Amino acid sequence: MFSNLAALCRYRGLIQTLVVRDLKARYRGSVLGFFWSFFNPLMLLGIYTFVFTKVLVGAHPGEMEPYALFMLTGILPWTWFASSVLESSNTLIAGGNLIKKVLFPAEVLPIVTVLANMVHFFLGLVILIAFLIYYQRPIEGLQLLWFPAIVLVQLIFTTGLALFLSAMTVHFRDLKDLLGNLVQFWFFATPVIYPMATVPMDMRWLLNANPMTHLMISYQEVLFFEGPHGHWQWLMALGVASIGVLLFGYFVFDRLRDSFAEEV
């Protein structure tokens, strides 16, 4: 397993090329092209902003103003996570030709999916920066140093999950349908469109058990709320757990690897 993991470093060039291919291919032949990366989060943002500021007025506390900015800090990383999970579950089946006909390191496929979606996330950050400047939110430079750490933890966690799910989907094809529902449930079980502060105390344990909660709180504390990043201990703990998830995901993937060429 570890020798395979080490071999992964050799595929850097391949992964890089495939991520670029993925991005290019996705936007080629569409009119708006690469602006779709902005369009999707903006669309979501528009919907939720309308619902929570015009329809359900007063459903959120004042600390969440400006609400659009609050939402954006959560929706962008969530979109990265959700798309990665959903797409990676199908990636081995879609890339069946490569696995069956070419000597190809299969783990590259889910990893490429996660990374391509990470690039989208980075592109979306441009909008976030524009909002931050528009609302003139003060960002403490020191707090910003946490940002790469949060991204890294999310990357490790998502990759582990993507490896696990992509391998399992080869054997259980309906997993990807199930995931669609699961991800939606997961979205509302994570403080993305509401802050943790509004969650009743007796329900907090449930949200604390959700790894994505801590990532979202961290993003919000660093980018939205003023004051220090008080959630860093949770983040570190999640970082360690994520490495566990990655190793587990890779272990499962490695165990099932030989079956891919036959089952895909």
Partner 1 sequence: MTPAIDVINVSKVYRRYAQKKQFATLKSAILSGSLLGDLRPEDAFQALKGVSFSVPKGCTYGVIGSNGSGKSTLLKCVAGITRPTEGDVKVDGRISALIELGAGFHPEISGRENIFINGIMLGLTKKEIQRRFDEMVDFAEMQEFIDAPVKTYSSGMYMRLGFAVAVHVDPEVLLVDEVLAVGDQSFTHKCLDKFAEFRRRNKSILLVTHSLDLVEKFCDTAHWLKKGVTQGEGDPKRMVAAYVIDVEDTEEHALAKAEAARVAAAAKTVAAAPDAAAESDPPSGSLDPESGAGPEAAATQGPKDGFKSDEGRWGTREVEITNVTITGPGGDAGHVFQSGDAIHVRMDVHARARVTDFVFGLGLFNADNVCVYGTNTSLEQFRPTEIEGAGVVTFTIDRLDLVEGTYRLDLAAHKVDGYPYDYHRLLYTFRVKSKIRDVGIYRPDHAWSFGGGIKISDQK
Size of the site for partner 1 (CB under 8 A): 26
**Residue 171 or residue 204: which is nearer to partner 1 going by CB?**
171
Please, what is the minimum distance in Å from the beta carbon of residue 100 to partner 1?
A: 7
Least distance from partner 1 to the Cβ atom of residue 209, Å? 23
Write each residue from 171 to 190 as x if it is in contact with partner 1 (CB under 8 A), else as -, in one continuous string. xxxxx--x------------
- Binding pattern for the stretch 87-126 against partner 1, x by CB under 8 A and - elsewhere: ----------xxxxxxxx----------------------
Per rule CB under 8 A, is residue 227 in the interface with partner 1? no
Helix (H) or strand (E) holding 175: helix 175-188
Footprint on residues 241-260 left by partner 1 (CB under 8 A): 258
Q: Which is nearer to partner 1, 111 or 235 (CB)?
A: 111
Shortest spacing between CB 89 and partner 1, in angstroms: 11
DSSP H or E run through 167:
helix 146-171
Find the shortest distance in angstroms from Cβ 97 to partner 1.
Answer: 5
Find the largest Cα–Cα distance for the chain. Answer: 58
Rounded to whole angstroms, the Cα distance separating 90 from 179 reads: 11
Residue 168 phi/psi, 5-degree rounding, is -70, -35
Q: Which is nearer to partner 1, 94 or 126 (CB)?
A: 94
CB of 171 to partner 1, least distance (A): 6
Confirm if 135 and 222 have CB atoms less than 8 A apart.
Answer: no
The residue whose two tokens read 């165990």 is 255
Contact string (CB under 8 A) for partner 1, positions 144-173, x = contact: ---------------------------xxx
Residues 14-53 contacting partner 1, CB under 8 A: 14, 17-18, 21, 24-25, 28-29
- Residues with Cβ within 8 Å of 42's Cβ and at least 6 positions away in sequence, in order, are 127
| CA–CA gap between residue 100 and residue 32 (Å, rounded) | 35
What are the backbone angles phi and psi of residue 214, rounded to the nearest 5°? -70, -35
Of 247, 23, 11, 20, nearest to 106 by C-alpha is 11
Query: Which residue type, as a one-letter code, is found at position 213?
Result: T
Angle at 127 between CA 150 and CA 12, to 5 degrees: 50
Give residues in contact with partner 1 (CB under 8 A): 13-14, 17-18, 21, 24-25, 28-29, 97-104, 171-175, 178, 258, 261-262
